[in-house]
Each structure stands twice: as C-alpha cells, then as structure tokens.
Structure 1
Amino acid sequence: MFHCELTSWSVLLSTICSYRFWYRHLVVILSLSVTCPLYGVDSLGVGWRGGGIDKWNRALAEHRFIALNQDSIWTWNVQPKSNLGPGIDGRGGVVLIPSSSGGKATFLPDAGVLYDGDPNTAFDPDDFAEAPELKRTSPIYIDLGATFRINRIRLFPRLDGEHKELFPRAFSLATIDELEEDLNLLERTFTRVFDFYPSNPNRQPVVEKRFASRDVRYIRLVVREDRRWELAEIEVYSDGTLPTGEFVSVPFLSTEGPRPLWGRVRYDGGDIQDLPVTMQTRSGPDREPLHYFRFTGIGADKEQVSAAGWTTLDSVEQGPIIRNPAWSPWETVTDGLVRSPDAVPYIQFRLFIHEPGISIKRLIIEYLNPPIAERLEAEVAPLLVDAGRETFFTVSLRTRIRRLRTDGSILPHGDTGFQAIQIETAARVDAVEKVLIDDREVDFLADFPSRDKTLIRLRNTVLQDGTFIQVVLRATVFRDATHFDVQALDQRRVDGKLIAVQQSAYAEDVDPLSLGGDLIVRVRDEQGQLPLLDQVRASAGVVTPNGDGVNDALVISYVLLKLTRSATAYFDIYDLSGRRIRHFEGRPTASGRRTQIWDGVSDSGQLVMPGFYVWRLRLKTDTGSVERQGIVGVVK
C-alpha cells in the first residue's frame, strides 16, 4: 500500500496535483509486458486469483476489434506493408463456403493454401472432391481472424509454365469489416476491390490493387466462369494500423464498503496513462447500468425486461435499451484518476486500445471508504460564451453529507467533509473573485498549482448536509465543450498517515437563479449560436489516386456538436456540370469527430477522369439540415 505523509496544506498542494492515494483497491487486472509488484491490499480481480472474477472472458460484457482469452485481451501486432495471409490460421481465421442448403457459411478444411505464403502451392476447387458443395463458381470467404486496416491486395496462380495461365479471368473480390452480432455472412454487402466480367476479363496472371485504407475482416472471392482456375496466393497487405479495439466489462462491486471513493487507476503498479489506451468508467447503485424494454404490442407501450430476456425476443418485440438513470454516464479516466461519481458500490469500465501489439492482463482501480460526501452536485454559469473573451463564471456546488443517523447518533463510517475545492478545466482561469457559502461571502485562499487547476482553500471544514457554495471566477474559454471538473479535497489519516483525497461532483441544476445545470461550456458561432457541424477540413486540395500511398484519397474530417439524438450524414461527389458521380449512403451518426473518404472512384467502380470535382457533406437532423462543400482536384 502506497501512502504519502502530509504535514501541511502546502505539502497537500504540491502532492494533490500529481498523486491521489487510496486505501482499498478494486482490482480489475491488466498488464502490459511489464512486471511490477501489485500492492498487498484488499482487492477484486480479473485474471487474478486473489478474488473477484479470475478470467477475462468471464468479465466480458461486450468487445469489438480485440482478441481475448481467459488470461488477457490484446490487439494483434502488425507492421506496415506486411502480408496478413500467413498469420490467418494462427489468429483463428478460416476459409468458408456456402453450405449445401445455401443458408449459412460452412468451414472448408485444407484451404489455407490460398494464403499460406508459399507460391508453389495452390488452391484449385477441383481438388476438393470431399466438399461437393464447392463448385468452381462458389463464393469463397476468407476470415482474416481479426479486423485490420488494409490498403493493398495481390493475387496470382503458380507462375510456372504449366499453371501460369490458370488464373481467374472473370471474377470479383470484395471485403467487409467485422460482422455485427447475429448477421449472416452470406447476406452482408461487400465493398468491391476487383470486378471482372466475361465481356471485360482480367488478362494478367498477377493482379494487384492499392486503395485507400479500409477496415477488413472478411474477403469474398467469386469466380464467374465455369472453367478450371487456381490461385497460389491471395496476399492482403496491412497499412500498419488497426481499428480501435474496445472491451467493456461487467459491473464490479466494491466489497470493502458500500460507499467507496474511487481513486487512481494502475496497471501492475504503474499509471494507466502510461498505456496506449483510453479508459472510461461509470458507477451506479446496482448491477444494471442499462435498462432493456420489450414492446407489448399495444401502441407504443413497453415493459422492462432483463438483458437475457431481451436477447431472446423477436426483433419486432425488442424495445429500446437506455441508460439506467441511477447510473452515471461514461467518464474518461484523466491523470490516472477515476472521474465517475463516488458513494455508489458498483463500477464498470471500458477500454479503447489504439495501437497494434498491445497485450493487457491487469488493471487496478483504487478506492477508499467512506467518501467525502454522499453526493456532490455542481453547475457552472454561463454555459454559452464567446471564445477568447474573458467571462465571469459562477461555479455552484451543493453537498449531500451523511454523518448522522435519523435518531441523531453518529453514523459509523460517515462522510468526512472537505476543506478545499479544486476546479480542473482547460479554460484559462485568471482570478478567483469571491467565495460564498450559503449566500454569505467567506475568506478563502486561492492557488494555481498547475495550468489547468484552481485550488480554493476554505477556513473551515464543510461538514453540513445541504451546504451551498459558489465560487466566482474570471476565466477565458478557447474551445467548444470545455469541461469544468469540480472536486472537493480533503485530508484524512489512514494507518497513522495523512493522505490526500478528492471527490468530483455530478452535473446538476443546483442554482435556481441560473439556467442549465451543466459543467460543460459551449462556444457561440458567428450568428451567436452553437454550430452543429464544425471543424470541417479536407486532407488535400488535390488527390492522386494512383496507388502510391500518397494523397490517394480525399479525407473530409468534421466534428458533430450538441446532437441530442442520432443524425444522418450524407456525402456526395459531383462533377462541375452538377452530375453526381459518387454517392455514399447516409448513415446514422452521433456527436464527435467523424470522417468521410473518397478514393477517386465513381459509383461504377472506375477511376474518374482528371479534373475538378465538388464534394458535399450534408447533415440531416430532426430540426433541419446543414451542409458544407468544397472543391477537390484529381490528378493521375
């Protein structure tokens, strides 16, 4: 157990900025090619025999773009320009063909010669007499064993004199990314890479194409002529990156007390920010962070059902899945600290793994019981400001502190209260003008221990339930959606040593004289309103889709703001006469950073002629639509 002795508030100031130490630990286990000792404390775990869930697969709620077994989760290691084929079998990949009934895909044994890296062996459908359902024109599906970002595919037969002319002439090869749950592979829509017909056949033994990177898990090959053919290799080349992997855990219970104060996140003794992952947590009072509903069939009426029961319903009966209002939303772990609300016994985490070759085994979430307060609620006002202009902000904080029973006796392990308030924000705070407690101005001492932290020390410890505190700041906001994290700080003695603790507040409407009830400040646009569509940027003014890996595609990046529900984004390319030459199907999307990619190909699958083209991005919402457009040149 790691503690820090503190003898004064000056020591606390220098310590609280970089450390947050805790007594009990919820261990969810997680390690990264580093061997460090775990602290000897009470804990729960995944993949660890000290208690809790001992296997990662048992701790799983859902996952995407990662591999896992009982001991760990990981992303596959991949290098730029590497052929993924020889590793398919090791990743659990297979070759599939339609079953004899045609309804489902079935495993085709001994078909790994399609990708084994040996140009002297070949796949010939005529050699599979034991698989009568395999015809020369049967669709053949290759599962890569994981989803990768690829930008090049190459295929060829054996190139000796006897076999060189057996290459497919009329065929298509297409790709898709990872399957959604319960979807049939045979029913998925694939994206084309090669497309040759008998009227316009392939005439080369070696066929190769480079293209803008795309996420690929499955490859489909369909030969269109009933003539003998073979392929020695289908080579699939990675660009060296992977789609972001995601692991979502089941909720965990803090067994050392029902009202924990969540703390620092570590992996095998190190801090989580040292890993190339993003971690988020949410907390709540029970095991159900989500509520599942069933349509009863009477109008729009619905009833709540269990998660297991919801999965067994017919699609017409499956109602919405919504967040349990008693659970907090997802909060990102920053500076190695859990930002989810305290004083509730369950916590759930999710990990986003951003790099290939990451193996994760151990994670530790520290906690201390009891909390500073049962609940802290805060808001900031105003919520809409001009960027770059100094503004007077009022941060309001209301406490819910449990120290006594209803009969007036002292509650064991009651809340400890706090002696200071810290406001952590990307806004530039120039001064703390005043502090009010229950509408009376009080003495305080303000400090700025780091660029993004403002610490307000109070004369007396706040111990009263329902205390209403207001801090008036002069600050400047420079970017939209700037968050104000309002924290209560305290010192307490554990095992004879003084440690520093902190607890963040929920966003709630606590000041009846202000509008909003939020801790996120937005920035006005030129018309005084917050834009829906912002930071629209084109990767280049000219693209050269020649397969050399440089400016092969136009990438439009943009940010969607303040969407209250999914909107539909449309992306189209037009020539200068106004004729649409490429249409991308509208897709539901939510707030956040998004991209659209055009690879210089028309809807017919052909490269467009050199010249200038117009791209148009349109966002359609319930309240109307907004669009942006620009010009891009195409040069071969």
Structure 2
Amino acid sequence: MESRSFRISVIFLCLVGVVPIGRAHGGTYVIGGKALPWKEAVWDEADPDAAVGVIEFERRPGWILPVEIDTAENIASKIFERGGGVSVPNVPLSREEKDALVGIVNGDPAVAFERKSTPAKKVNSYGILLDIDLGARLGVDRIRFFPRMSEKYPYSEYFMRAYELYLNDGLELTEEGNPIYHLAVREEKNTEPVVDVRFPLQYVRYIRIKSITEASWEIDEVQVFGAGFVPTATYISKVFDLGDAAIFGRIWWHQKKVGTPSKSKVIVRTRTGTDDTPLVYYRKLAWGEEVEVSKEEYYRLDPDEQGEIRYFAKDGSEVSKKVYYSLPPEERGEVKYYRTGGEVPFDREGLPITKAMYDTLSLKGRIELDRENWSSWSSPYDYREGGVFIVSPCPRRYFQFRIDFESRDLDAAGMVDSIAFQFFVPPIARRIVAEISPRKVVAGEPTRFTYAVRPTIREGVDTGFDRLEILTPVKVDTVEVVRIDGDEVKFEVVEVDHDHFTVGFPKVTSDRLVEVVFRCEVLRYGTTFLARAFDSAAEEVKQPVVAGDATSEIDTDDISVHTALGGALIRKLEVRPDPFIPGSADATRISWDLLQLTRPVPFYVDIYDISGRLVRRFQGRGKSGTYFKEWDGRCGGKLVPPGVYIVRVRVETDSGREEKFRTLTLVY
C-alpha cells in the first residue's frame, strides 16, 4: 500500500514542524490558508455518508466553503459530478436510449432523448416520466427544456406540447427513500419549442417532467438555474500517516460566516485508525469460485452461499467426514470451510482489496466503513479560540478529519480558512486499560472508589507516565492512597477542581498496575470516570485510558458506575451566607445538586416573602450536577425589606415535579 500513505508522508515531512516535548516529539499539521492547499489534502475515496461534490475551492484563495450558485450557470451540467443522475422510471430503455439520457444534461447538441413514432413503429410518448436528480439540494428558480434546433439538427417541431413539472426539495421522502413530488406547473397547450418555467427561489433536488401528450417529442437539453449557497456540503481530508501510533492534542480552525450567522453551521469531526484506509472494499465471487472462511463466518452465511466442508488428517491428507470422526482425536487435522457465493474483502491471493484493485474489478462488490480498525466520526467539536482536545481514540497511527457545512438559508454559509491539529509520538503507552470498583453505588452518598490502571508500555520506546487525571462528577472528597503493583507509594494531589483531580506518583515505565483510592459522590446512573495519563515533563501530552481488564482483583472491566434508579432529584439545597446582610457581601449563594438526570430539564429558583409574594425568580436547564444562583437582595432593582424569605428550588421532568425549600433571613 505504498500509494496513499507514502504520498501523504512526503507532504507531512515538508510541512510539519516537530518540537521535542520530553521524550515525545510534537507536531502540528496545517491544511488550508497559506499551508497545504485544500485540494491537495482532500480524500480521493468515497465516504458513504458524506455530501461531497459541492465544495468551492477557487472563490476565495486559501478558503473552502459551500458552492454558491451563479445565476447564469446551468446547474444541470454538473449533475454527475455531484453524484446525481437522469432516469426514466416507468418504461424499459435500450442501451442507446440510456446513453441519450446522459446527453440531455451534458450540453451535447447532437444527442437527444426521443419519443418519436414512425409509420413502421409506434412509440408511446404519453405518460413518460423523466426524473432528474441534481445530486444535492440547490436553490432553483428556473427550468428550461427544448428539442434540437440547430441547422444540422432542425427538429424544433418536436417539442413537448403538453407536460407537467414536479419538484421535490430532497427532504420529503418515502420510507424507501424515494422523493415525494409536488406539482409545480401543468401546461396542456404548450406552443413554445423552448419551455421556460420560472418560480420563486426554493430548495430543489429532484425534478420530474411528465409528458401528457401523445404527439412525438424529443428533449435535447434540460437546463436548471438558481441562486444561493448549497445547504449541505462536506470536505473530508486524506488519511494522515503519522509514522507511528500517536497521541493527539488540540484541533483548531479559523472560520467566518456569510449572511445571518445563526442560519449556518461549520461542523468539525475526526476519526482515527490502525490501518491506512477507513473503507473495506469487496469483490463478488465469480461463478464456481470457492474461498476459505472461518467456521464462525461459514455458519453465518446464507445456505446458498455455503460451500463444501473439507476434512484433513494430521498428516495433511484429505479424508471424508465419516473417516475424520472415526480417527482418534490426536490423529485429526484441520477442518476447512468454504463459501461459493456473495462477496469477500480480499483478492484471489488473499490480500485486502485496495481502491486501485477495486477500480479494476469486473465484479465489484459493496464498499463499507471499516468499523474494526477505525473509529466512528467523533461528536462535533466546539469552535473555541485556542482549539479543543481531540477526542478520537488514541494512540493511533492514522488520522482523518471532516468539515460539514450546513445552512438553513440560501444567503447564509460558513467558510473555513485553515484547520490544524497536534500530535505527539511516541505515545505514553501502547495502550492503557482501566476499571473502577465498586460498580454499584448510592446516588449522592460519598463512596470509596478504587481506580485501577494498567499500561502496555514498549520499554525504551513509549515515554511512560507519573500523573493520572481522573474526571469526576463533583469535586473529589479525598485521595487516600496510591499503589503500584500492590505496594503503597508516596503520592501528591497535584490539582483538585470541581470536575477532576490529578494525582502524581513515581514514574511508570513498564507494564505495572497503578491503583488510586479516592472518595467521591455520584449524581446519576451511568456516570463514567474518564482518565488521562501523562508525564509531568510534558503536561500537554495526555493519553486517555480505555475500559478493560486492568486487574483480576476487580471484575467490572469498566470505568462507569451505576446507581439505583429513582429516588430524590434535588439534594444539598444550601443558602450561604444566612443571615444575609446586603452590602456586607455582594450576594447570597443558593446551591443545590441535581441527581439521576441524563439530559437537561427545566429548573426554577423562586424567592418568596413571608406572605407568599414572589420577589425574585431564576430559571435554567440542567442535568445531573451542582448548580448555584446568587441573589443580591433586590427586587426590581430595589432592596427588599429585612425579614425571613423562603427559597424554593423546583425541577420538572417527564415523570413529574420535585421541589425543596430553605429559609433565608435578611438583616440590615
């Protein structure tokens, strides 16, 4: 597989500045702007779920953005470039007729799609459907079609004398994915060779022209015009080969918006892999061809794809099934299973099929995402100055990103000048697995946890670590002990924050078990204690752990914990200071915990005087976590009278309402 990986590696060496960080080396790869041109970094393989073909590279040098339609451009001329097509779904066509369909959108004046009768042959022209898929949702306001009318092809009298024109915006589809068309125009007495239909600018993807005439006709060309930005477009980068398994740092990009900013989005995602292509290519087996498969795969095949099963003695000779099972177990050899139909992801020599091989196949099979060796696309990253940490699995050698542009308005679009990502090689460890105990806890009660971590470290290659950062649902109560291979070691609590803590210990440079014992509360079912290991000499290089079997002493193989479902939703409602003297402090803080909530729900903080009159209300949305609001003792900008006030926190969920109360005294 020299091809892709080699080419990208050459570009990589030219453009990436490598900086030593401890024993690791860090690099930043920049695409776009004045660095590697966007076109040179685009992926040359088709991702099944991407809206490609509608990215503009030339309009603003160094930038990419969705295509904006030129009002003078015939949109139909690039149908096939965008992945669209032309078809007649209700009558069978000859090869010549299918070729002629291509001619009605490619500008060839010599080719027309015809429905003409002759004295020798009657051709049905009534009810013929001509379907056009533009390949993307585009802003359209004009459609033209006409017969050949040149001096060489003078067929202007064969225009369509009655027709219906239907449109679909690309979103309204049947369960099978077929467009639901809506009638835009019906013309029963057309007298013009050039049909020119204009309508308000709107999103269109599918066009249907229906003949409602029995007279002969032909269509030389269908032209489509419009304006505005395409509503969806996707840029997918090439696969970057980082030379070795790498840890990823931050990703950041520079973006701008055209039109109303709230009506467009720029969505950035990443994925990582252990081989150089995220796709698996299949070939169809030729008639009579037989390939060996595993026993497990054999019994998952459809019966008509199951081939023979062959039995072999210990000496390698093939025997019948009856003879095989009559042999003593120690004299039995292999049993081989074969398939005779369907598709396989390797060639006749058993090598994985590459894109180049796939393109030469006469019997092409499907193309699938490689879910075994590649991660799924990450969740969208937030757009922040300074970037955000890459969340795709690592360490991985191969990296890819995608940028999706979305718009809800024809005049709005996002654009990206450049994008950059950090990586560090070698990693801290080849792999770090972790598990936590206990698995089941009581929500809201401090629990003593043991967090076990075991790395797989290539001695002399990977850097090792002396810090572990553990993410927690609330501020950790205490860190009690750290053990390495069962022995307590000296440790320090380097940092404690409301959602994580970091502990330091003697450096681990081999496959040793590290255990951290701490006390913390859990607020909801399914809380996951993520963690990242790093070396104090290179704090920006952090490697996430993965759930797995770190030690036989803990049988969870997981880093999430469960609580009993049900119970209170509001806990620890506190008001401090109380009494509150306005002027002596800026405000009194009202704080509380929400439990057992996996998605945001509405909450309200109401403050009443002793008569029950509402004097102040705060509201918001939240899921499990700790929240607070501050009150300065004012209502409508004026200080309220001294006295006793009632604080109520209320939360509303699908199952009902819960509320808790506290009193607050104001004194002057």
Q: TM-score, normalised by structure 1?
A: 0.52
Task: Select the structure of larger CA radius of gyration.
Answer: 2
What pairs with 1:25-424 in structure 2 (closer than 5 Å)?
Answer: 25=27, 27=29, 29-31=30-32, 47=38, 54-58=40-44, 64-67=50-53, 68=55, 74=64, 76=66, 96=86, 101=95, 102-103=97-98, 106-109=101-104, 131=112, 133=114, 137=126, 138-144=128-134, 146-148=136-138, 171=164, 173-175=166-168, 177=170, 189-194=178-183, 217-226=205-214, 242-243=231-232, 245-255=233-243, 258-267=244-253, 276-284=266-274, 286-289=275-278, 296=291, 297-298=305-306, 304-305=345-346, 306-308=352-354, 312=361, 314=363, 322-325=370-373, 327-328=374-375, 330-332=377-379, 336-355=388-407, 357-360=413-416, 362-380=418-436, 394-403=450-459, 411=460, 414-424=461-471
* Alignment CA distance shift 1:2-1:145 (3 Å): same
Distance 1:447 1:525 in 2: 32
Relative to 1, partners in 2 of residues 1:236 and 1:506: Cα closer, same or farther, differing over 3 Å?
Answer: farther
Inter-CA distance 26–439: structure 2 relative to 1 (3 Å threshold):
same
Q: Percent identity of the aligned residues?
A: 19
Partner of residue 490 from structure 1, selected from 529, 535, 552: 535
User: In structure 1, what is the equivalent of residue 502 of structure 2?
Assistant: 456
Letter of the 2:544 counterpart: S
How many Å separate the matches in 1 of 2:105 and 2:376?
48
Q: Assess if the C-alpha contact under 8 Å between 1:378 and 1:506 holds in 2.
A: yes
On the 8 A contact 2:446/2:520 being kept in 1, the answer is: yes
Between the two proteins, the alignment pairs up a number of residues equal to 437
Structure 2, unaligned runs of 5 or more: 1-15, 117-124, 146-158, 257-263, 286-290, 292-304, 308-336, 347-351, 382-386, 568-597, 602-653, 655-668
**How far has the Cα of 1:503 moved from its partner?**
1.3
**What is the distance in 2 between the residues matched to 1:21 and 1:359?**
38
Say which SS state the counterpart of residue 477 (structure 2) adopts: strand
Determine helix, strand or coil for the equivalent of 2:114. Answer: coil
Of 469, 492, 501, 2:541 maps to 501
- The alignment partner of 1:106 has SS state of helix
Q: 1:395 to 1:280 in 2, by over 3 A?
A: farther
How big is the shift at 1:504? 1.3
* Residue-by-residue CA offset, 1:419-449 (whole Å, 9 max, x unaligned): 2211346x33443443432344554315335
**Residue 253 of structure 1 aligns to which amino acid in structure 2?**
D
Q: Deviations over 1:153-204 (max 9, x none)?
A: 89899xxxxxxxx9987636253749xxxxxxxx984322129999x999xx
1:388 shift after superposition: 7.2
The CA RMSD over aligned residues, in Å, is: 5.9
In the alignment, the residues of structure 1 paired with residue 25 and residue 231 of structure 2 have an alpha-carbon distance, to the nearest angstrom, of: 38
Contact 1:65–1:147 under 8 Å retained in 2? no
Shift in alpha-carbon separation, 1:359–1:536, aligned structure 2, 3 A: closer
Do the aligned partners of 1:60 and 1:249 also contact (CA within 8 Å) in 2? no
Q: Structure 2 CA distance, aligned partners of 1:473 and 1:209?
A: 67
Instruction: Give the structure 1 partner of residue 492 of structure 2.
Output: 444
Using the TM superposition, give the Cα deviation of residue 474 of structure 1 relative to its aligned residue in structure 2, in angstroms: 1.6
Output the CA distance in 2 between the equivalents of 1:382 and 1:499: 30
Q: Secondary structure at the match of 2:455?
A: strand
Structure 1 residue 488 displacement after superposition: 0.8
- State the alpha-carbon separation in 1 of the partners of residues 229 and 561 from structure 2: 38
Could you tell me whether the CA contact under 8 Å between 1:174 and 1:220 is conserved in 2? yes
Question: What is the aligned counterpart of 1:517 among 532, 548, 557?
Answer: 557
Contact 1:342 1:374 in 2 (8 A): no
TM-score normalised by length of structure 2: 0.49
Give the Cα–Cα distance (whole angstroms) in 1 for the partners of residues 184 and 71 of structure 2.
22
Distance 1:515 1:252, change over 3 A: same
Answer whether contact 1:433 1:474 (CA < 8 A) is retained: no
Decide whether aligned partners of structure 1 residues 457 and 146 sit closer, same or farther in structure 2, where only a CA change above 3 A counts: same
Structure 2 CA distance for partners of 1:435 and 1:289, relative to 1, 3 Å: farther
SS of the residue corresponding to residue 307 of structure 1 reads coil
Q: Once the two structures are superposed, what CA deviation does each residue of 1:497-549 show, in whole Å capped at 9, x if it has no partner?
A: x763211122323243545534456787669xxxxxx9899xxxxxxxxxxxx
Between the aligned partners of 1:522 and 1:237, the Cα distance in structure 2 is 55
Cα distance, 1:417 vs structure 2: 2.1
Contact kept in structure 2, 1:176 and 1:189, CA below 8 Å: no
Partner of 2:585: none
| Cα deviations by residue, 1:58-112 (Å, 9 ceiling, x for unpaired) | 4766662133588889553669xx9999766588689946576444672345899
Q: Could you list the per-position Cα deviations for residues 210-232 of structure 1 after superposition, in whole angstroms to 9, with x for gaps in the alignment?
A: 9xx9x85332221333369999x
CA shift digits 1:426-478 (9 cap, x unpaired): x33443443432344554315335x54x1322142233422332344524345
CA contact (8 A) 2:63 2:418 kept: no
Secondary structure of 1:377's aligned partner: strand
* CA positional deviation for 1:373: 2.0
